[in-house]
Amino acid sequence: MTVDVPVDLDTIRAAHARIREHVRRTPVLTSPQLDAAIRSALFFKCENLQEIGAFKARGACNAVLSLDDEEAARGVVTHSSGNHGAALAWAAARRRIPAWIVMPDNAAKVKQSAVTDLGAIVRYCEPTVAAREAMCAAVQTETGATLVHPYNDWRVIAGQGTAALELLEDEPGLDAIVTPVGGGGLLSGTAIAAKSMKPSISVFGAEPEGADDAYQSLRSGRIVPQTDPRTIADGLRSSLGEKTFAVISSSVDAIGTTSEAAIVRAMRLCWEKLRVVVEPSSAVPLAAMLEAKLPIAGMRVGVILSGGNVDLERLPWQH
Amino acid sequence: MTVDVPVDLDTIRAAHARIREHVRRTPVLTSPQLDAAIRSALFFKCENLQEIGAFKARGACNAVLSLDDEEAARGVVTHSSGNHGAALAWAAARRRIPAWIVMPDNAAKVKQSAVTDLGAIVRYCEPTVAAREAMCAAVQTETGATLVHPYNDWRVIAGQGTAALELLEDEPGLDAIVTPVGGGGLLSGTAIAAKSMKPSISVFGAEPEGADDAYQSLRSGRIVPQTDPRTIADGLRSSLGEKTFAVISSSVDAIGTTSEAAIVRAMRLCWEKLRVVVEPSSAVPLAAMLEAKLPIAGMRVGVILSGGNVDLERLPWQH
């Protein structure tokens, strides 16, 4: 299977022009103590400080603003009980168009209210892939809404690439960029943006050992679906799609995997040393570096902190 | 007693020029959800994102860089087991001069190592005001070091004023600025900077009901020392000094006081909605607004988040 990749630096710059009034230009933080721990110079792009608390605002906003008026009027639909669902609800609210979010009927109340508070309509389904795809298709048939997939969508991938665009504008001296990889939208957009802006740069993904489908997929040269993911990093349990696999297998230098203990340690270090609230998925790149799973010694490394939506009642380092 | 105030906007601009290579220009965050809760537009200046996690870096750095080479070579001394102690140790390390930090012999180990990790020397004393002042005097006699008081020092006040300078440069449309008030250094510097840059602006302080010496002092027209402070906001237990009282009593529009429950609620809201780690003292302005203790309805309000050094093992909303 050959996949034609229609996203390049121009596409990502166009996405940035489209969304820049809506998303935040997030700050880049540093910590001499973390640098000393890793023996590299780390530059953390704080996507957790987006209004909805995740980089997902970028891709969702680009997808929503890419629709023509007629398409837009019919609304958008997706399946996600996590950050993409909230991001699409938020983006649709900004354009004042309807959004339907399909989520399993066992989703936490807080995740349901996160999207209904933004004005979206929740549609419930059985907690299986087949059921959520069927429900999305039913909503599309019923309403004419456009499906905005969480990551296997070129408009979403282009939007996610705008974080790396800003990061390299702010820190042009970077030697490498690391992002977490779940479905691969952020990593794909980052790889296209970064390699186009600076061909010498390395782009790495990082994922939990307990959800290492991207690592397995790259090793075997085909998409290895994630079955039975076991990780605290709830944003990284998805499988790659054919679009993200095409980009990642051709452009990403390596995927580092990391233990659950390192993820918790890295998450706590971000809270303590950077003083920002990050969710476990965000801490996976730092965790992989703490475990020396990525060849970044002595480099200037950009790290995308992907999100900051956590339950403050239950922190993973507390017993 | 009349106190001549030698700090004005020029002094604060000079301080900014002196320290700007060393301290961070911290970002300003917003939250539509917090705006809706307060019915104002809030702009949070994130001093918790300074390298040492507090605005205290500004005043300490200005004081250290204001010394001539001969004075500097003899070092600096202060009494503080909190953010000012760490800030002075950090500033001295940047100028490669010695720093002595006097702290009570019952100070937590983590506070001791926070300053010794930065290369400062800790001197222990009994946990009384008299003992710490005596120990500071002894260090000065022994070493010739310059005392840098945590707040009752014009160089420190001028340095703290640089946060409001940046905030008003970034958000010139503000109608009011609120800061927490402990010893009053941040509030004094903020009042001088803000009222000079924009005479129509209101400047408010916020403090816990259980440590309301600034409120009492303004009401009675003289310094009412804080005895037996009872608050979780450990950065706000000090009394005003004669310098900070002089500035605050002449320039600050009002002091709002707030309950402990509102402080914890506001702290948690900052973590959840802004996704930054703030310490209880930082949350006091938002707490005072939540309890409608400040006349800011409908205004554009700058809020200085003063610091983010907390024990992540023990969060006040957990039982």
- Rounded to whole angstroms, the Cα distance separating A97 from A47 reads 25
> Closest-CA residue in chain B for A312?
B272
Q: With a cut of 70, say whether residue A1 has pLDDT above it.
A: no
- Residue of A247, A232, A217 lying closest to A152 (CA atoms): A247
Residue identified by tokens 């010695």 is B98
Asked if A111 contacts A103 with a C-beta cutoff of 8 angstroms, the reply is: yes
Minimal Cβ distance to A51: which of B32, B268, B312: B32
How many A/B residue pairs have CB atoms within 8 Å?
A: 53
- Using a 10 angstrom Cβ sphere, with 0-12 exposed, 13-18 middle and 19 or more buried, the burial of residue B70 is exposed
Lowest-confidence range among A177-181, A190-194, A261-265, B312-316? Answer: B312-316
> What whole-number distance in Å separates Cα of residue A280 and Cα of residue A260?
9
pLDDT in tens, B87-138: 999 999 999 999 999 998 888 888 888 899 999 999 999 988 899 999 999 9
pLDDT at A2: 81
Active site residue A293: no
Q: Render pLDDT for A145-198 as a digit per residue (tens, 0 to 9).
A: 999 999 999 999 999 999 999 999 999 999 999 999 999 999 999 999 999 999
Catalytic residue among A40, A45, A56, A111: A56
The domains found in chain B, sorted by start residue, are 9-54+154-305 (3.40.50.1100), 57-147 (3.40.50.1100)
Write out pLDDT tens, residues B242-265.
999 999 999 999 999 999 999 999
Q: pLDDT tens for residues A287-310?
A: 999 999 999 999 999 999 999 999
Question: Cβ of A40: how many Cβ atoms within 10 Å?
Answer: 20
By the 8 A CB rule, do B105 and B122 touch?
Answer: no
Partners of residue B121 on adjacent β-strands: B100
Query: Is B272 in Cβ contact with A312 (below 8 Å)?
Result: yes
CA distance B100 to A213: 53
Contacts of B113 (CB under 8 A, 6+ apart): none
Q: Which residues of B touch A276 (CB under 8 A)?
A: 49, 275-277
Min Cα–Cα distance to chain A from B44, Å: 12
Rounded CA-CA distance B289/B304 in Å is 13
Chain-centre distance for alpha carbon A203: 15
Question: Considering the entire predicted model, what is its pTM?
Answer: 0.96
Mean pLDDT on B200-223: 98
A49 and B272 within 8 Å at the Cβ level: the answer is no
Asked whether the beta carbons of A203 and A187 are under 8 A apart, the reply is yes
How many Å lie between the alpha carbon of A279 and the closest alpha carbon of chain B?
10
**By the 8 A CB rule, do B162 and B189 touch?**
yes
Q: What confidence tier does A318 reach under pLDDT thresholds 50, 70, 90?
A: confident
The pLDDT score that the predictor gives to residue B318 is 82
Residues 6+ apart with CB under 8 A from A85: A78, A79, A101, A103, A111, A114, A115, A120
CA distance A291 to B28: 34
Residues on chain B touching A313 (C-beta within 8 angstroms): 317-318
Check if the beta carbon of residue A185 is closer than 8 Å to that of residue A158: no
The residue of A275, A281, A314 whose CB has the most chain B CBs within 10 angstroms, and thus the best one to mutate to test that interface, is: A275
Q: What is the ipTM of this complex?
A: 0.95
Average pLDDT of every residue of chain A: 96
- pLDDT tens by residue, B146-170: 999 999 999 999 999 999 999 999 9
At residue A178, φ and ψ (nearest 5 deg) are -120, 135
**Which single residue is written with the structure tokens 């989703």?**
A107
Q: If we measure between CA atoms, which residue out of A171, A243, A189, A241 comes closest to residue A58?
A: A189
For residue A188, indicate whether it is catalytic.
no
Of all residues in chain B, the one with the smallest CA distance to A308 is B275
End-to-end CA distance of chain B: 48
Query: Would the pLDDT of B209 be above 80?
Result: yes
Tokens 């093992």 correspond to what residue?
B313
- Rounded CA gap, B230 and A63, in Å? 52
To which residue do tokens 């507390």 refer? Answer: A318
CA distance B31 to chain A (A): 7
Contact between chains at B27 and A49 (C-beta distance less than 8 A):
yes
Predicted local confidence at residue B319, as pLDDT: 66
Nearest CA to B277 out of A110, A115, A272 is that of A272
Report how far residue A85's alpha carbon sits from residue A94's, in angstroms, rounded to the nearest whole number: 14
Q: Which chain A residue has the Cα nearest residue B25? A: A27
Q: For chain B, what is the largest distance between any 2 Cα atoms, rounded to a whole number of angstroms? A: 56
Q: List, in order, residues 6 or more apart from A194 with CB less than 8 Å away.
A: A164, A168, A177, A201, A203
Whole-angstrom distance, CA of residue B299 vs CA of residue B285: 15
| Strand ranges inside chain B, DSSP E | 28-29, 41-46, 76-79, 99-104, 121-125, 146-147, 176-180, 202-208, 254-258, 300-305
Q: How far is Cα B91 from Cα B119, in angstroms, rounded to an integer?
A: 11
Mutate to test the interface with A, among B55, B275, B281, B319 (most CBs of A within 10 A): B275
Closest to B56 measured CA to CA, from B9, B101, B121: B101
Interface residues from chain B to A (CB-CB < 8 Å): 27, 29-32, 48-49, 51, 53, 268, 271-272, 274-278, 308-309, 312-313, 315, 317-318
- Tell me the C-alpha distance between B290 and B265, whole Å: 9
Using the structure block, give the residue that is written with the tokens 């002449």.
Answer: B250
Cα torsion angle, A284, A165, B163, B113, sign: positive
The minimum CA-CA distance between A268 and chain B, rounded to whole Å, is 8
Q: Estimate the crossing angle of helix B83-95 against helix B109-116, to 10 degrees.
A: 20
- Shortest distance between the Cα of A26 and any Cα of chain B, in A, equals 9
Mean pLDDT in residue range A36-59:
97
User: Is the confidence at residue B227, as pLDDT, over 70?
Assistant: yes
> How many Å apart are CA A114 and CA A93, to the nearest integer?
13
Interface residues from chain A to B (CB-CB < 8 Å)? 27, 29, 31-32, 48-49, 51, 53, 268, 271-272, 274-278, 308, 312-313, 315, 317-318
